[in-house]
């Protein structure tokens, strides 16, 4: 990847979700990536020349909880390019099925800018509109079960 873009740009941005998970930061460092922080967002970059990151795009959160009486509602907003999204989505689907019709799972793909602007959130999962987790935090079935159980307890 590095060789393919050499001479075509000033820098490459490493995927920050991957880079900051269990030892992968060291992997990227071996290839000359360095930590860079801008506006509170950490990234790993490979520098080929001087560059500045553009301002991050911030969308207004337009998420509105759609309650369903007597059920726990799980709303998940993901992007197909997010490396952790497929595993998190499979985990959510499987655990939600365990609870049968007591859980409503709404999946939103925010790959298209129009959908992202409509909801204003990405990479986040809401449980009954209040408890939110990032998709990379939802790989363990036990964690999802615990969150759902708490939602049933609190109504």
Residue 14 has pLDDT above 90, yes or no: no
Q: Which domains does the chain have, with CATH numbers?
A: 2-47 (no CATH), 72-154 (3.40.30.10)
For residue 13, the SS3 value is strand
pLDDT tens per residue across span 29-60: 787 777 777 666 667 777 777 766 667 677 88
Positive or negative torsion for Cα 53, 132, 111, 138:
positive
Pick the closest to residue 124 from 88, 96, 81, 155 (CA basis).
88
- pLDDT tens for 78-128 read 888 776 778 889 999 999 999 999 999 999 998 888 988 899 888 889 999
Residue from 66, 76, 67, 87 nearest 121 by CA? 76
- Report whether 155 contacts 102 (CB < 8 A): no
């Amino acid at each position: 990847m590095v060789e393919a873009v050499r001479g075509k740009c000033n820098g490459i941005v490493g995927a920050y979700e991957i880079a900051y998970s269990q030892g992968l930061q060291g992997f990227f460092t071996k290839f000359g990536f360095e930590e860079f922080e801008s506006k509170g967002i950490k990234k790993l970059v490979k520098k080929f020349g001087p560059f500045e990151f553009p301002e991050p795009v911030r969308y207004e959160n337009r998420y509105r909880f759609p309650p369903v009486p007597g059920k726990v509602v799980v709303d998940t907003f993901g992007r197909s390019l997010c490396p952790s999204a497929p595993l998190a989505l499979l985990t959510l689907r499987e655990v939600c099925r365990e609870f049968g019709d007591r859980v409503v799972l709404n999946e939103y793909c925010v790959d298209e800018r129009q959908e992202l602007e409509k909801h204003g959130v990405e990479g986040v999962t809401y449980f009954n509109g209040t408890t939110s987790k990032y998709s990379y935090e939802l790989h363990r079935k036990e964690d999802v079960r615990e969150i759902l159980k708490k939602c049933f307890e609190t109504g």
